[in-house]
A = this chain, B = another copy of it.
Amino acid sequence: MVSLTVKNLISIADLSTKEILTILDLAEKMESIIHGPKPSTLLAGKILASLFYEPSTRTRLSFESAMARLGGSTITVADISASSVAKGESLADTIRTVDNYADVIVLRHPQEGAAQWAAEVSKVPVVNAGDGAGRHPTQTLLDLSTIRKSQGRLENLNIAVLGDLRFGRTVHSLSYAITRFTKRLYCISPPGLELPDEIVMDLKEQGKEVIETTDLKGILPELDVLYATRIQKERFPTPADYEKVRGVFRIDKAMLEGVKSNLDILHPLPRVDEIAPEIDETPYARYFTQMFQGVLVRMAILSLLLEVNTK
């Protein structure tokens, strides 16, 4: 029986590399449960409380699907703002209530650190499903899982992160996590939206090579993995500034001439304009597969935190 040393999943930083691999290995095995002939009863009788203080259809449905695939049940607050919180209740009291109703809590909260506070008062495991500008560890795990599944490994890959690297929570976690396995990280962003200095310095201190550029087209032929993210209009001083960037960083078929045949394009979704729909049908598109890996990874995490015998 595999297990984790942590009781909660708050940040990818809390996991050893060995634990990350344990989760990815288990996620892979979960595929046979979904496609198997008999429904799983691994989490039968178990209850997931899905607490979303801000709506996130994708993440919420993915966790709830994972729970259902394992035979468990879910109780949901899809948008908690309308509830007790309006009466002035603290997050701590909500958690100490809900931990009486469920065996595991998945929490999305607009405030950084919220999942950690929740874990400190909860008597059941807490999974951070995004805490504001903070962490979103299952996103990072599903990104890693998608890359490993498609490339066959996490080591020795040329990986670029693209887009708004400054405000993108997803990219921050992934940058730390993927460089546990690779030696180099390509960072492609519009001026002003570069990866924060702090992260660049952390990575360099760990002996990693960080290559920052605005030249998407020039770097593309080098890459095994291109991780694109949303560039939000609101980040730019004027609409014209946005329009300029939008054109340069949009991935379309023409741009993909000469890329490696094993190139994987990932995106945490929702996308707006960053990847042309014509890419969807190419062998490079991996962003919908990513969604499926998300279910597998969450099945693995729920099983591990609930300490059921997965082997």
Chain B residues in 8 Å Cβ range of A94:
57
- Nearest-neighbour CB distance to chain B for A97, whole angstroms, equals 5
Whether A269 lies near B97 (C-beta < 8 A) is yes
What separation, in Å, do the CA atoms of A230 and B277 have in the docked complex? 41
Q: Say yes or no: A270-B101 contact (C-beta < 8 A), given A39-B44, A64-B75.
A: no
Whether B55 lies near A68 (C-beta < 8 A) is no
What separation, in Å, do the CA atoms of A64 and B64 have in the docked complex? 15
Whether A40 lies near B45 (C-beta < 8 A) is yes
What separation, in Å, do the CA atoms of A230 and B89 have in the docked complex? 11
Q: Say yes or no: A77-B61 contact (C-beta < 8 A), given A71-B45, A87-B272.
A: yes
**A17-55 with Cβ < 8 A to chain B:** 38-41, 44-47, 49, 55
What separation, in Å, do the CA atoms of A69 and B49 have in the docked complex? 13
Q: Say yes or no: A68-B93 contact (C-beta < 8 A), given A84-B270, A88-B270.
A: no
Q: Say yes or no: A295-B82 contact (C-beta < 8 A), given A47-B65, A57-B77, A89-B271.
A: no
Q: Does A155 contact B (CB under 8 A)?
A: no
Chain B residues in 8 Å Cβ range of A77:
57, 61, 78
Q: Does A262 contact B (CB under 8 A)?
A: no
Chain A 283-295, CB-CB to B under 8 Å as 1, else 0, gives 0000010011011
User: From A270, which residue of chain B is reached at the shortest CB distance?
Assistant: B89
- Nearest-neighbour CB distance to chain B for A35, whole angstroms, equals 11
Number of interface residues, chain A, beta carbon within 8 A = 55
Whether B55 lies near A45 (C-beta < 8 A) is no
Whether A93 lies near B44 (C-beta < 8 A) is no
What separation, in Å, do the CA atoms of A64 and B47 have in the docked complex? 10
**A91-134 with Cβ < 8 A to chain B:** 92-94, 96-98, 100-102
- Nearest-neighbour CB distance to chain B for A34, whole angstroms, equals 9
Whether B47 lies near A38 (C-beta < 8 A) is no
Q: Does A310 contact B (CB under 8 A)?
A: no
Among A57, A80, A88: residue with most chain B CB under 10 A: A57
User: From A39, which residue of chain B is reached at the shortest CB distance?
Assistant: B45
Contacts A47-B65, A61-B101, A89-B270 known; list 8 others, CB within 8 Å: A56-B83, A61-B98, A64-B75, A76-B78, A96-B280, A96-B288, A100-B291, A100-B292
13 contacts across the A-B interface (CB closer than 8 A): A39-B45, A40-B45, A45-B69, A58-B97, A61-B98, A84-B269, A87-B230, A87-B272, A89-B269, A89-B271, A92-B277, A100-B291, A100-B295
